[in-house]
Amino acid sequence: MDPRDIDWGSDSAEADQNLLKYFVKPVQLKRLKEQRKQFVVGRKGAGKSAIRKKLLDELRVVQNSVNIEILPSQSIFSSLRLDDEINKNFAEEIFFQYAWLTHCFNKALEAIGASQEGKFTVGSYAAARDFALKRGTANFDFLEGIRDLAQRIKIKGGNKLGDLGIQIEKSLREISDINSLEYHLKKMAADGVKITFLIDDLDLGWDNSSLSNKILQGLLLASHYIRALNPNLQCIVFIRDDMYRLLLQGTQHSDKFRESVLLKWESEGLQEVLAERIKFNFESADQKMPEEKDDILNFVFPKNIGSSGAMNWIIERTLSRPRELIQFAKLYTENLSSAEPNSDVLKSVEETYSRMKLEDLCAEYKNQYPDLKGIFDHWRARFFRQKYHLTKEELTNVILTILADCKINQPWFVQLKDKVDVEGLSKILYDIGFVGDFIKGGAGGSKTIYSTEDHTPIFAEIQVHPCFRKAVGTVERIRE
């Protein structure tokens, strides 16, 4: 086997046909299977969709299980942004809560009903089968369901949500026919049918607008409601951690939504991600592979880069997420000129990788901080070959220069600029993972803490994350 021929698979779980063949189980999967958590939270590329695919695969073999994947399309947010009627008259959490509940319950009854075709059924199962037959040619997606619910309210004489009066929830239950749908699902759940909703891809088209966030806050309410109906009714929402935090800040019900699992990867698990993919390639080629994991990794990667272990060096330069690791591995093997592991090649692709990840970072946060790239362009141009380790005074100088000279005409930046808010911009750079808070001394020695940890930064000293150092042109130290 030649390392240059390794197929690392897609760095997108959705597009990876072989994902389950080399899936590495994070510890969080067990908690989800035991139905102990409601939200799977993680940065982009942390493995949320991969866990959903694995969880779905394992739930399929559970007796009496019905598993409903709900993957809203990008058009939900973009279409509703252009819908003046929804924006003006119905854009409230409670409206979207019942839109989500109606959509989820409809999907469940359709799935259960379709499985009963040709069987003798009575009660709720017969109702589900009849429902599936009737819905077969008019299966609304979520967007159509929103508009259908708004139309039903108008038929009842309410031109806007407020026209339903003080008993708004009672009216929504009647208009959406949620009582009937809920009755049948609860009956089947009581009979032992295990119904799990898995909701993912919520960042597609999300723009951090009030409307987008109301839609998702309605989902939080709906998921909490579903879980309270019966232990056999479960709803698991897969969501980016920045979106999750924003939604909790914007809802008065945040205490209800703390049942979350944060996806975090340690070095051992990330090395396993690479090792399993290398093993898969050996097996696919029907070739004998090394027996030990370290030998498997060293077949592809050099043992060391300078005085550092190569695997630790690579992982340090990722954001500790599987997607980044796979992307780095691809760049490396695609640039090898021979079958031998090569530390020089690994170092040579670092700048390409770093620039790529900085672009991805700007894209990830484009809704919260549009034109964020302007800051990093300025950093590279103005502070090229600046140290990556900065004291508070040095960081303040960098931030003041950025605030004074960057031409970013966006409200978030203009507000920082007008207030000369050094702390505010430092906090943003920390929150997105560009810099870490360097803490001196202590029993554990000095260390840099990034936003993935539960930590309040003090910014006495900071370090630019290794992932982005090459992209902005930092150096370890200035040589005299």
Q: Comparing 46-55, 111-120, 278-287, which segment has the lowest mean pLDDT?
A: 111-120
Mean pLDDT on 405-422: 96
Q: Is 242 helix (H, G, I), strand (E, B) or coil?
A: helix
Quick check: 73 pLDDT over 80?
Answer: no
| pLDDT of the residue at 425 | 98
136 band by pLDDT with thresholds 50, 70 and 90: very low
| pLDDT of the residue at 473 | 96
Q: Cα–Cα distances in Å, from 82 out to 8, 184, 211, 382?
A: 41, 36, 11, 41
Measure the CA dihedral 268/273/276/278, to 10°.
-110
Quick check: 478 pLDDT over 60?
Answer: no
211 band by pLDDT with thresholds 50, 70 and 90: very high
Residue in this structure with the two tokens 């929830």, named with its chain if needed: 169
Greater model confidence, 20 or 166: 20
Mean pLDDT on 37-57: 90
pLDDT tens sequence across 99-108: 999 999 988 8
| pLDDT of the residue at 117 | 55
Is 364 in contact with 44 (CB distance < 8 Å)?
yes
Mean pLDDT on 52-58: 91
| pLDDT of the residue at 4 | 94
Domains of the chain by residue range: 28-262, 267-348, 369-472
264 token code pair? 């975090």
Quick check: 479 pLDDT over 50?
Answer: no
217 token code pair? 């806050």
The CA distance from 134 to 163, in Å, is 31
Task: Count CB-CB contacts under 10 A for residue 349.
Answer: 19
Mean pLDDT on 7-35: 83
* DSSP state for residue 449 in the 8-state scheme: E
Q: Is 244 helix (H, G, I), strand (E, B) or coil?
A: helix
| pLDDT of the residue at 442 | 63
Round the average pLDDT of the chain to a whole number and report it.
88
| pLDDT of the residue at 137 | 39
| pLDDT of the residue at 441 | 74
Mean pLDDT on 164-179: 88
pLDDT tens sequence across 271-282: 999 999 999 999
Quick check: 22 pLDDT over 90?
Answer: yes
The CA distance from 113 to 181, in Å, is 12
| pLDDT of the residue at 259 | 79
Q: Comparing 65-74, 113-122, 150-159, 280-289, which segment has the lowest mean pLDDT?
A: 113-122
| pLDDT of the residue at 477 | 61
| pLDDT of the residue at 110 | 82
Is 267 in contact with 294 (CB distance < 8 Å)?
no
